[in-house]
Amino acid sequence: MKKINSYYVNRIYGAIIFLVLCIFLSCEDFVEINPPSDELISETVFVNDENAIAAIRGTYYELKNGFGRGNSTSLTVLGAINADDLDYLSTNVDFLGFYDALLIPENSWIDNNWKSLYQVIYQTNSILEGLQGSTGITPDVKELLEGEAKCIRAFCYFYLVNLWGEVPLIISTDYEKNRLASRATISQIYELILSDLKEAQELLPEDYAHAEEERVRVTKSAATALLARTYLYLEDWAQAEEQASKVIENSNYMLMEDLNGVFLKNSMEAIWQIKPINVGHTDEGNLFILTSTPSMAVSHYLINTFESGDKRKSSWIGSFSNEIGAWNYPFKYKVKQESDPDNATEYSMVFRLAEQYLIRAEARVQQGNTTGAQKDINIIRNRSGLKNTTAITQEELLDAIIHERQVELFTEWGHRWLDLKRTNRSGEVFGPIKSGWEVTDVLWPIPQPEIDNNPNLIQNTGY
């Protein structure tokens, strides 16, 4: 954490100048921009509603620009290569580390994602501290921003704990305390995640009025969706079902009958999306859609998993060929490049309704409600043009759900990697196909720069 915090300390002077200039020129213009991550200076930002709202927008901007991007070093890509969604076809050693299960602590993409998540956490901590000490922000806005900050912080810690296991639990901006923080236990991290999400549920609105009716800022349902997923990972089946049901029963959301409409901006299936900034296309579309010989492509394992007649294959898998060969690519996003930054038709998906049906199905199976589980599975299958599941027993239903999650959520936020990890299926799937697979590979290594900078950090087993 040393580098992250010193980054902010070294740039405070420039941040103050930027903020003063923005406020002097026009508060309205300031609200419209997305400030860089180091522009969270309490004395300047948390003096009124407009500046505080700009600060939370800056947090979304940081998330979009780092861990949350669909670019080649994001979790969406690395998780897909780490799992069996994508084949890596080039020679970059950092990518090969993920593909062959030969990760090392010096892998630069590991370090990038760790830093990106902690940068967002630093921002949410800054916002929470700034709101606590502010007297110039109206109560409604203070509640809204506190809810957003806690939901986003929980989101970051969810991925930290599931990718790395025990990690430092940073909940303040105290540099001296943070730079030497040791690793918290898994239970301590989940305790914070649950606490943040429950508080966010109480603070956040149901609708998207605070986001000008776009689904690009978190709401009560976003917090609930992540809470449902968290309870699933913790094997609290009753709570997972209850929270997923709240989202499913919310009239703001519905499954899109046309699979090609799922990833459009503000689709009815979207619970939370990330809006492209200064471009008219998503990073995912720009990266995945092939127009030349690729460095990555949809794996044969994934292609062969689709059942005959599954519309997800025909709608969400594209193909490209040239004189060298032929490849498949993820085609959930249909726009590779749009020159008009104001003409985006797609937003990057973070949470969507289909996942909630699959969460509830799994929770119901684990509680013995096979009929309810079959119903949820069939809703997803029927939307995809498939007949009802033939699974009956608990084991068959759990296998069916893992299958549906694979073909529904591929190349989205590392779902496949984390699903196999949490269900103890990683070795069974990856052992035969990854040359370096060992049981300890279910966790990523702590980045070596963090180990070097913090004597209290201990490396994950196997690295």
- H, E, C per residue of 60-129: HHHHHHCCCCCCCCCHHHHHHHHCCCEEECCCCHHHHHHHCCCCCCCCHHHHHHHHHHHHHHHHHHHHHH
* Amino acid (1-letter code) at residue 383: R
Q: How far is CA 76 from CA 83, 107, 145, 275, 422, in A?
A: 11, 17, 27, 16, 18
> Residues 146, 55: contact at Cβ < 8 Å?
no
Select from 3.30.420.130, 1.25.40.890, 3.40.366.10, 1.10.1520.10 the CATH code of 1-204.
1.25.40.890
CB distance 328 to 298 below 8 Å: yes
More confident residue, 21 or 105: 105
Is the distance from CB of 341 to CB of 278 less than 8 angstroms? yes
Q: What is the pLDDT of residue 275?
A: 93
Q: Is the pLDDT of residue 68 over 70?
A: no
Q: What is the DSSP letter of 423?
A: T
Q: List 327's β-bridge partners, or say none.
A: 320
Helix axis angle for 108-132 and 2-10, nearest 10°, is 60
For a pLDDT cut of 70, what percent of the chain falls above it? 90
pLDDT tens profile 264-319: 999 999 999 999 988 999 999 999 999 999 999 999 999 999 999 999 999 999 99
- Average pLDDT estimate for 385-412: 98
User: Quick one: 322 exposed, middle or buried, by C-beta within 10 A (0-12, 13-18, 19+)?
Assistant: exposed
Whole-number pLDDT of residue 6: 34
Residue 18 has pLDDT above 70, yes or no: no
| Residue whose token pair is 């522009």 | 39
* Structural contact between residues 21 and 112, judged by C-beta atoms closer than 8 angstroms: no
pLDDT mean across residues, the chain: 91
Domain ranges of the chain: 1-204
> What pLDDT was estimated at residue 43?
63
Q: Is 250 left (phi over 0), alpha (psi -120 to 50) or beta?
A: beta
Specify the pLDDT at position 67: 79
pLDDT digits (tens, 9 = 90+) for 165-213: 999 999 999 988 999 999 999 999 999 999 999 999 999 999 999 999 9
